[in-house]
């Protein structure tokens, strides 16, 4: 990952976005601190949600029953 000063990024944003379009990533630095990360957009990703696996309980209780019993024990 490459580091770029904010003013350089602002003044040459077209060139930096062209590089991002071809796979490069950048961290934007302002006053010596990182403020943003510019990464290529991945259209094949599913977004911010992650894949989940349904949990099956080995009893006849529902997950709500299990949670309520855990809360009542305290």
Residue 21: give its domain's CATH number. 3.40.1620.10
CB neighbourhood size of 8 (10 A): 13
Report the number of distinct structural domains present in the chain.
1
Q: What pTM, to 2 d.p., does this model score?
A: 0.55
Whose tokens are 């950048």? That residue is 26
In a domain, 6, yes or no: yes
CA–CA separation, 62 and 4 (whole Å): 53
Range of the domain at 36: 1-41
Facing residues of 27 across strands?
A: 3, 37
Residue 59 lies in a domain: no
Q: Tell me, what's the pLDDT at 46?
A: 59
User: Which token pair is 26?
Assistant: 């950048």
* pLDDT tens by residue, 26-38: 999 999 999 999 9
Cα gap 29→36, rounded to integer Å: 7
> Does residue 52 carry a pLDDT above 90?
no
In a domain, 19, yes or no: yes
For residue 24, pLDDT over 60 is answered with yes
């Amino acid at each position: 990952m490459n580091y770029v000063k904010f003013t350089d990024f602002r003044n040459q944003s077209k060139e930096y976005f062209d590089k991002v379009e071809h796979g490069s990533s950048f961290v934007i630095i302002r006053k010596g601190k990182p403020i943003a990360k510019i990464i290529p957009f991945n259209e094949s990703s599913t977004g911010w949600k992650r894949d989940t696996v349904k949990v099956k309980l080995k009893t006849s209780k529902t997950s709500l029953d299990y949670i309520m019993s855990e809360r009542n024990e305290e």
